[in-house]
Structure formats: C-alpha cells, structure tokens
Amino acid sequence: MLGSSTRRNVAILGSTGSIGCSTLEVLEGLGESFRVWAISAHQQVDVFAKQIAKFKPEHAVLTGAVENRAVSEVASTSGTTVRFGSEHLTRIAAAPEVDIVVAAIVGSAGLESALETVRQGKTLALANKEALVVAGPIMTELAKTSGATLMPIDSEHSAIFQALQSGRSVSEVKRVILTASGGSLRAWPREKLPLATVDDALAHPTWAMGRKITIDSATMMNKALEVIEAKWLFGLDPSKISVVIHPQSIIHSMVEFVDGSVIAQLSPPDMRLPIQYALTFPERHAGPARKFDWSESFSFDWAPVDFERYPALSLGFEVASAGGTSGSVLNGANEAAVDLFLNHKIAFTEIATLAKKVLDYHDFDPSPTLKQLMDLDQWARKETNRIAGC
C-alpha cells in the first residue's frame, strides 16, 4: 500500500520545467511514502534554488553552469550535495538509492540518463518522448533484460496505458486512437499558416507547456513523435495507431478492442493526473489534479486529421514504419527547425519541410548503434541549419 513503511526515492530530471514542477506538486500531496531524493535543472537558477530550499533533496544537479554561488549557498543550508554539469545526470539515474526517475528533460538531452535508468532496472516515468523516438529499440530491449518498468507520463500514452488495463493482452487491441488538440493554429486558414508568428504559435488554447512542445503541438510534430513512442511503448504495429483531432483535450486517448468496444480515459486537461498515476501505479489516490464538475454541461468534438495541413504527422507514421536511424534524424531535425522558428529565422511552415528534407537525405541504417544514433542527431541538427542557410 502507498501508506506502508516502504518509502520510494524519486529523482526528477528537469525539475524546473512544467512537468518537473507538476511532479513536485504531486509528490508534496502524496506525503511521506515518497521522497524527492534528487532534482536537476539546466538554467532556471532562481526556481531551482527555491526547490532545493523547499524539498531539501539529497542531490541537485545544475547542467547549464560550471558553478553557481546562489545554488551552492542554498544547497549548503539545505544539506543538499550540488553538482554542476550534465555528466552527473547518469550518476543520479544509476544511484542505488533511487527507485523512480522522472525523465522530464526536453529533447535528446535527456536520452542518456533515461537509458541509464532503464539499464539499472528502475522505474522510468517517461515524459521525454524523444528517448523512445531516438532509441526505441535499444531502450525496449534494455528494459527486457534489466526488468525496468517504463511508465508513460504523456497524457495520451498514460490514457492508452490505463485503457489497456481493460484487456488481457495487446492481441485484443484493434487500434489505439491518439487524440490531438490541433494546436494553437487549428482554426487558421491553411493559406495563412506561413504568416504565423512565434507568439501566434505559442498561444495554445488548452495546455500550458514549454515553448518547444507548444510549437510541436502547433505543427502536430508532437503527435508524430507520440505515434513513434506508442509503437515502442506498447509493441504496436503503426497500422494499429490512429490520430483524431479533439479540441477540448478531455478525451486523452482511446483503445478500440477487436470486439468493437472502445475504452477512453477522460479528465480535465491537467498533467498532474498522469504524473501521479505513473508514480503510484497500480494504486490510485486522491490528488491535486482538476476534477469534472458534473453539474455543468459540456460536449466532445473530434474530427479526422487533415494531413496536408499537418505534414509533420505523416513523417511520424513514416518513421514509425521505418525504424532504424530515422527517429533520431527526425527528432534532431525538428528540434533544430523549431529553434530556428523561435529565433525568427524561418517561417512556421518550414519546420516540417526542413525535417522532411533532412529525413529523406540521410543515409538510413535499419540497425544502428547508440553511437550512430547520437552522431546522426548532431548531423541532423547541422544539416537543418545548413539547408535553412543559417
């Protein structure tokens, strides 16, 4: 039981982002059955220092600096050992005291620590979808060998995981249906999308997320990455994965079984729910996530995806079918293209165009090593910038 004397130590890698902050809020509500044993951040020094002072973790890692006096002083007062540099992330993941690692670092920067967590046979609460996109076959094979548990934090994959509890095996699944909000620009005429500004693309109507993932939502590259992630996380053929537009973000995803039954997971949009489920599974407990007000009226809408409007999503299905090196290349190219857009160097619609060009151009290998994947990630970023003339 959650209230037993066994306390689980949690390391939150990426504690100052939206997922990390929500995780800390969830853990605070769960009481003494969990302990914030370690946290990490990249640059948000003020937020990080406050987290150290409040939660007093055993260890803290700041990856974006070689030293920081303010963090060091707070850590000293809190009894926290502080380290500087990204090389310490894998050491935290490998620490025998850690039971659960929350992988909340955005992008491929979180890959090595996620892999180390799996290598050590721990529970990986995975918010970093890039880990499976880049190295899905390597990570899933490692999990089989080490006995590690992969728990999704993404609302969509958590919904699928929860719905799958209604079946006995994946052989009973006809398809999974990922829902997508359609992003901040879903109501824009398609011909006006090249004119979208950074502020336009960041104005998501439903979710409060980081800048990169909000842009991915607008292009629907986030859903492309989720298609790839679902393939590896649930052992699904891409032909069994569908996507629909659901603007309200109430139905987080669905599973259709072979008998025609469809099981959906519904809740108000709040990442604290899938985070808590990942931490406490197989138990459920009261938590801080928003609840439905059943005295109010509400309705659901969904619609098929217009793949011409969202060409990035087609790339996700292409990569999920191809496997090999394609995930690393797509992810690296997209991260570079999103960065170019956020810095006002390319148009919004060029993000998917650049990612496709780099993906089509790369030298595909069906069975790459981890080193190949990491090298191709860097190549894809440089190639994206080269093609963009930046």
User: What's the rounded Cα separation, in Å, for the pair 372 and 295?
Assistant: 55
H/E segment holding residue 150? strand 149-152
d(CA 224, CA 130): 11
Token couple for 216? 């991915």
pLDDT band at 4 (very low <50, low <70, confident <90, very high): very low
Q: Give the model confidence (pLDDT) of 199-252 as tens digits.
A: 999 987 776 677 888 999 999 999 999 999 999 999 999 999 999 999 988 999
- Average pLDDT of the residues in 41-56: 94
**pLDDT at residue 2 in the model:** 46
Grade residue 158 by pLDDT with cuts at 50, 70 and 90.
very high
> Which band of pLDDT confidence, cut at 50, 70 and 90, is reported for residue 107?
confident
Determine how β-strand 262-266 pairs with β-strand 251-257.
antiparallel
* Domain architecture of the chain: domains with CATH: 8-152 (3.40.50.720), 159-266+298-388 (1.10.1740.10)
Contacts of 311 (CB under 8 A, 6+ apart): 352, 353, 356
**Rounded mean pLDDT of 8-21?**
95
Mean pLDDT calculated for residue range 43-61: 95
Confidence of residue 65 (pLDDT cuts 50, 70, 90): confident
What pLDDT was estimated at residue 162?
A: 95
- Name the percent of the chain lying above pLDDT 70: 98
Q: What is the pLDDT of residue 168?
A: 82
Residue 5, pLDDT > 70, answer no
Cα gap 314→264, rounded to integer Å = 24
112 vs 108: CA distance, rounded Å:
8
> Band of the pLDDT at 169, cuts 50, 70, 90?
confident
Give me the pLDDT at residue 339, please: 97
pLDDT of residue 1: 38
Whether the model clears a pTM of 0.85, i.e. scores above it, the answer is yes
Averaged pLDDT of the chain: 93
- Give the pair of three-digit tokens for residue 224: 């492309």
Q: Would you mind telling me the total number of residues written for the chain in this entry?
A: 390
